[in-house]
Amino acid sequence: MQATESRTTRALHDPSLYTNRELSWLEFNQRVLDQAIDDAHPLLERVKFLGIVASNLDEFFMVRVATLRKRQRAGLEQVSPDGLTVSEQLTAIRTRALKMMRDLAACWQDRLRPALAESGVVFLEEDQYTDRIRRHLTAYFLSDVFPLLTPLAFDPGHPFPHISNRSKNFAVAVRHNRRTKFARVKIPDILPRFVPLPSSEGPTFAFLEDVIRQNLDRLFPDVEMLDAHLFRIIRDTDMEVQEVQDDAELDLLESVDQSLKKLREAPPSLLQVESTMPRRILKILIENFEVKDDIVMHSLDRLAFADWRSLLSLPMPTLKDAPFVPRTLWRPEHEPAVFDDIREQDRLLHHPYDSFSSVEAFIRQAVADDAVVAIKMTLYRIGQNSPLIDLLIEAAECGKQVAVLVELKARFDERNNIRWANRLESAGVHVVYGVENLKTHCKLCLIVRKESDGVRRYVHVGTGNYNHVTSCVYTDFGLFTADPAVCDDVSTSSTT
């Protein structure tokens, strides 16, 4: 028996039984890219998938690749379950990610762009501009773009400027008094990537980076322009929070805030450059970022395809999925019956086929109902303009007991959640900032109501975030119940 167990144990440690976690994720992203390639989907939906792939890939470098590089810098060459060292994983990731970036560019250039042109949506290259278009774009540059641009020189007398995560930048070389100098010009994030052009034949766009490149000389008067090449970096955003100890002076809120500030200067995990960038300029970037060539990837096409998701807003319904209207449990005129309905039987939601408005109705009715005495809730990702915050504040102002756990360590939502936590606390809501050494990922809302036969509790338990936007996209379940066993469990969790 012992010999059999030993053989089984050895077999389970065989690297050939396992797939590398990071390479597996890249294959998942490939399946998303396959949706952009599949012409069974409406055209703008395919463009949306293209943008999702690019955004996913950015986050992959921001977290997973960045974590591996931290281990490499620390000299920690642990072997993964599939038998690869950190360096071997980074090499394999680079090869696979580079192929994905090229496939992404080919999908745009060879498939989506020609198909969009056939449907009347045209994107112009610089050599396609007519004199009329050039005049239009120059006027646009001078009125809307030029005031936002700030060229920053860097040389021994001027430090290399800070380059923010995921920003698009021009590395510019100019000659003045027979000397070559270098500068950085950041492309403003607040401007649309696709600049609309006057056209009688359908939507026509120029690329913002091309408009800026055509007019860069206006930023550098009295010097000779030599080169201007796009680059962007992906920084490590895998935040390491110094957890609160009993004798610590900083609370979790301050600790997360300080960690976010440190991320601003985090080392790059990817330096993406135009393939035409000369080696002398690339070398300057590598030296100033204090990185090696192994994080550099040359792009044969456009950078930052995540911006392409904005094209889904084009008013062309024939190029999109047909609108879907989800089912709603309670319409506004029926909201007073929310608690009666839940007391009668459990209600199950299946998002996105059931509307998130039912969750909002549940909380809205709790705020309006004089019999409700307490609302307790966990918040992980709630989005930019959630009505739930206003509802919770209104409940507190009405004298109800409101307690909210805001998970400050929700990745990429840390700053939003700090803002929400501060606003809730200022309104008198009791706010908990998470649990030491853990992330609170559960989605719970507990309503306590005084009724004629005593105190009764109502609960919403969900697999998805309290986020109206993502509930329209992600598949999740939500349960409304007054079952005492479930309510006991949620109540116990809310007091520990």
Q: What is the pLDDT of residues 204-263, one digit of tens each?
A: 999 999 999 999 999 998 888 888 999 999 998 876 655 555 544 346 666 666 666 666
Is 242 within the bounds of a domain? no
Active site residue 441: yes
Cα dihedral across residues 402, 405, 408, 410: positive or negative: negative
pLDDT for residue 256: 67
Computed over every residue of the chain, the mean pLDDT equals 88
Is 215 within the bounds of a domain? yes
Q: Which of 162, 441, 460, 468 is catalytic?
A: 441
Encoded tokens for 422: 């501060």
Residue from 50, 178, 184 nearest 104 by CA: 50
The domain spanning residue 38 has which CATH number?
Answer: 1.20.58.310
The domain spanning residue 434 has which CATH number?
Answer: 3.30.870.10
Encoded tokens for 131: 């004199």
Residues in the chain: 496
Instruction: Tell me the chain's radius of gyration from C-alpha atoms.
Output: 27
Question: CA triplet 262, 263, 269: central angle to 5 degrees?
Answer: 135
Residue in the structure block whose two tokens are 């007073």: 336
Q: Give me the sheet containing 168-176, strands edge to edge.
A: 152-154, 179-186, 168-176, 224-235, 268-274, 296-299
Encoded tokens for 369: 């109902």
Residue from 119, 81, 107, 23 nearest 317 by CA: 119
Q: For 1-54, what is each residue's pLDDT tens digit?
A: 455 545 556 678 888 889 999 999 999 999 999 999 999 999 999 999 999 999
d(CA 13, CA 81): 7
d(CA 45, CA 134): 31
Do residue 48 and residue 180 come from a single domain?
no
pLDDT for residue 241: 56
Is 59 within the bounds of a domain? yes
Residue from 365, 360, 445 nearest 405 by CA: 445
Is 47 within the bounds of a domain? yes
Is 323 within the bounds of a domain? no
The domain spanning residue 166 has which CATH number?
Answer: 3.30.1840.10
Residue 143 has pLDDT above 50, yes or no: yes
pLDDT for residue 412: 66
Q: Return the exposure string of 375-400: e unless at least 16 CB atoms fall within 10 Å of the residue's CB, then b.
A: bbbbbbbbbeebebbebbbebbeeeb
Q: Contact 173/226 with Cβ under 8 angstroms?
A: yes
Residue from 67, 462, 435, 51 nearest 235 by CA: 67
Q: For 161-206, what is each residue's pLDDT tens digit?
A: 889 999 999 999 998 888 888 999 999 999 999 999 988 788 999 9
| Interacting residues of 212 by C-beta distance below 8 A, sequence separation 6+ | 141, 145, 149, 170, 185, 187
Do residue 94 and residue 149 come from a single domain?
no
Confidence band for 271, pLDDT divided at 50, 70 and 90: very high
d(CA 221, CA 265): 32
Do residue 480 and residue 443 come from a single domain?
yes
Do residue 469 and residue 344 come from a single domain?
yes
Do residue 100 and residue 220 come from a single domain?
no
Residue 347 has pLDDT above 90, yes or no: yes
Do residue 50 and residue 187 come from a single domain?
no
Confidence band for 453, pLDDT divided at 50, 70 and 90: confident
Last residue of a domain, one of 76, 100, 119: 119
**Phi, psi of 136, deg, nearest 5:** -60, -45
Cα dihedral across residues 113, 118, 123, 129: positive or negative: positive
Residue 155 has pLDDT above 80, yes or no: no
Is 296 within the bounds of a domain? no
Least confident among 6-15, 117-126, 332-341, 420-429: 6-15
pLDDT for residue 249: 36
| Interacting residues of 436 by C-beta distance below 8 A, sequence separation 6+ | 243, 244, 252
Do residue 453 and residue 400 come from a single domain?
yes
Q: Across-strand partners of 227?
A: 173
For residue 177, count CB atoms less than 10 angstroms from its CB and return exposed for 0-12, middle for 13-18, buried for 19 or more.
exposed
Is 320 within the bounds of a domain? no
| Interacting residues of 350 by C-beta distance below 8 A, sequence separation 6+ | 475, 476, 477
pLDDT for residue 128: 94
Q: What is the DSSP string of 242-274?
A: ----TT-SS-HHHHHHHHHHHHTTPPEEEEEEE
Counting the structural domains of the chain, the total is: 3
Crossing angle of the two packed helices 43-60 and 86-106, in degrees rounded to 10: 160
Do residue 357 and residue 282 come from a single domain?
no
Residue in the structure block whose two tokens are 């010097």: 223
Residue from 416, 413, 483, 420 nearest 441 by CA: 413
Residue 415 has pLDDT above 90, yes or no: no
d(CA 11, CA 442): 36
DSSP class of residue 349 equals E
Per-residue pLDDT averaged across 94-116, rounded?
A: 97
DSSP 3-state of 42: coil
What domain range includes position 91? 13-119
DSSP 3-state of 476: strand
Is 353 within the bounds of a domain? yes
